[in-house]
Amino acid sequence: MGEFTLGNLPGTRDLLPEDTALWQSIESAARDVFGRYGFAEIRTPIIEPTELFARGIGADTDIVGKEMYTFRDQSGRSVTLRPEGTASVVRAYIQGAMHREGGVRKLYYHGPMFRHEKKQKGRWRQFYQVGAEAIGSEHPAVDAEIIEMALGLLDALGVKARLCVNSVGCRDCRPRYVELLRAELQKSPGGLCEDCRRRAETNPLRVLDCKVEGCQPLVAALPAITDHLCAGCAGHFAQLRAHLDDAGIAYEVAPRLVRGLDYYVRTAFEVVSGDLGSQNALAGGGRYDGLSEVLGGPAAPAIGFAIGLDRLAMILGESRGDADRRGPELFLAWMGDAAFVKALEIARHLRRRGRRCHVDFGEGRLKGQLRLAGKLGARHVLIIGEDELARGRYSIKRFADSRQWEVTMEELEAYLETT
Ligand code: AMP
């Protein structure tokens, strides 16, 4: 056996109990807000055949080209840890023949995604997203509704963010624009970073997305896609903006906003926060009308988005502290063996009635137990000693105002009901 150094992989981390309370509250806000719009949860496998992402995301993308966790399993099949959620959801949509149900199918998911990215603040290799997909319509009102819903979740969480929208055209008009870009880029290859010189050949649209400082003057001078849309795409984009206006949603048109994934057509959007550093994108989304067919399914125009939970938690964590921590409602402090047994019995009884109780298993003295109760964020402590056992009356203390009084078991139960 080789040497073993204990540690998690770079770009991964543990979410500890002091973190997960916040994550749970974000997830439950998502369930609540998305539910109002008719979205139901779907859970797909975290591991998929590699081909699903190679086809669904596009071989020219950074994700497929450089970032996927791909390996062969014991049967020799190439498998990949999912780098994003959309391809799996569309696969499940096709396999479940959901198009037969008619109308727009609305699905949401949350969970871990895996990309072998360069390490930097706000970028993880295992990160978490909550995302939603509305499959089965190309109507721009669907685009506006899903954008409203994404912003609705951020609003419910008290996060201030800015919306940027663009149209990236379609199979008819985009190739002409991409050729135009390629021609422009060939004129001045010297001003581009190494990645962009490659992108100028393989995927010129991605140059627009480059974050390298040196490329910015050139990028800013490139033609804007919004000036080169076909009539269908220009009309769709105008209707989207009208629906957003009707909904009272502020946005800016960002003609250089493109998404990293090949299958996007027409609407592309991003939600950015002023509270994050260079990795300021909180959410990204867009329309992917051709994806279902690329994967061998029926025509199923669709739009979706994903919100990065790590970044959301980072913003909220700073503003909320640990207000969401759910400590025990009752900490049962005991002295002596008989009191210990009684404490376990009371805790068992109250837990069955839905109360959060904690009994310490150590041999600790009362003082130590009270300190632990404070550390755990307990709301009350119940003290059980020999005296209390004999009388069937216990002393209870409420931490919020240090009030202390005596209760019988019935009184305790009744009191906890009111808190
Ligand atoms: P994407 O799937 O690339 O469109 O990303 C959607 C959102 O997921 C982004 O706006 C980020 O908030 C988040 N995200 C993407 N990649 C990462 C990462 N490596 N680490 C943390 N969050 C990420």
CA–CA distance, 298 with 103 (Å, rounded to integer):
14
Q: Determine the Cα–Cα distance for residues 39 and 109; give it in Å rounded to an integer.
A: 10
Q: Which helix (H) or strand (E) holds 350?
A: helix 337-352
Q: What is the three-class DSSP state of 39?
A: coil
Asked whether residue 360 is domain-assigned, the answer is yes
Ligand 1, atom 15: closest residue by C-alpha:
308
Question: Among the three residues 302, 321, 340, which one is the final residue of a domain in this structure?
Answer: 321
Domain boundary among the residues 321, 350, 368 is at: 321
The dihedral region occupied by 266, where left means phi > 0, alpha psi between -120 and 50, and beta the remainder, is: left
36 to each of 141, 207, 250, 314, how far by Cα in Å? 16, 38, 21, 26
| Same-domain pairing of 287 and 357 | no
Tell me how far apart the alpha carbons of residues 108 and 409 are, in angstroms, rounded to a whole number: 45
Residues with CB under 6 A from ligand 1: 84, 115, 117, 123-124, 127, 129, 260, 281-284, 306, 308, 310-311
Residue 219 lies in a domain: no
Boundary of a domain, candidates 268, 302, 321: 321
Phi, psi of 296 (to 5 degrees): 90, 15
State the pLDDT at residue 226.
94
Look at residue 324 in the predicted model and tell me its pLDDT: 47
**pLDDT for the residue numbered 308:** 96
Both 365 and 333 in one domain: the answer is yes
- Residues linked to residue 253 through DSSP beta bridges, in sequence order: 165
Q: Does residue 373 belong to any structural domain of this protein?
A: yes
Asked if 106 contacts 132 with a C-beta cutoff of 8 angstroms, the reply is yes
Q: Are residues 155 and 61 in the same domain?
A: yes
From ligand 1's centre to the CA of 217, what distance in Å? 26
Q: 135-156, pLDDT tens digit by residue?
A: 999 999 999 999 999 999 999 9
The tally of domains found in the chain comes to 2
Q: How much of the chain is in helix, strand and coil states, percent to nearest 5? A: 45, 20, 35
Whether residue 44 is contained in a domain is answered as: yes
Which residues in the chain show pLDDT less than 50?
321-324
Q: Which residue of 110, 123, 157, 259 sits with most ligand 1 atoms within 8 Å of its CB, as the best mutation to test the pocket?
A: 123
What was the pLDDT predicted at 303?
98
Alpha carbon of 308 to ligand 1 centroid (Å):
5
Element of type H or E holding 126 = strand 126-135
Looking at the structure, tell me whether residues 68 and 161 fall in a common domain.
yes
Let me know if residue 193 belongs to a domain.
no
CATH of the domain at 126: 3.30.930.10
Residues 259 and 152 in one domain: yes
Tell me if 267 sits within 8 A of 287, measured CB to CB: yes
- Which tokens in the block code for residue 376? 């755990």
Instruction: Let me know if residue 194 belongs to a domain.
Output: no
**Sheet with 78-81: strands ordered across:** 47-49, 78-81, 69-72
- Report how far residue 209's alpha carbon sits from residue 201's, in angstroms, rounded to the nearest whole number: 15
Q: What is the pTM of this model?
A: 0.88
Encoded tokens for 214: 């040196």
Place of tokens 């109507």: 139
Best mutation site among 311, 312, 314, 315 for ligand 1, i.e. most ligand atoms within 8 A of its Cβ? 311
Nearest-atom number in ligand 1 for the CA of 260 is 3
Q: What are phi and psi of 161, to 5 degrees?
A: -150, 160
Q: In what order do the strands lie in the sheet with 403-407?
A: 357-359, 330-334, 380-384, 394-398, 403-407
User: Do 263 and 406 fall into the same domain?
Assistant: no
Do residues 370 and 358 make contact, with C-beta atoms less than 8 angstroms apart?
no
CATH number at residue 393: 3.40.50.800
Per-residue model confidence (pLDDT) at position 203 = 82
**Host domain of residue 26:** 17-173+229-321
**Which mutation among 116, 127, 264 tests ligand 1's pocket best, with the greatest number of atoms within 8 A of CB?**
127
Both 271 and 389 in one domain: the answer is no
For 194-240, give the DSSP string. Answer: HHHHHHHHH-GGGGGG---GGGHHHHHHSPPGGGS--HHHHHHHHHH
| Residues 306 and 342 grouped into a single domain | no
What kind and span of H or E run contains 92?
Answer: helix 86-95
Q: Which two tokens stand for residue 92?
A: 């499940």
Q: Which residues pair with 133 in a beta bridge?
A: 107, 304
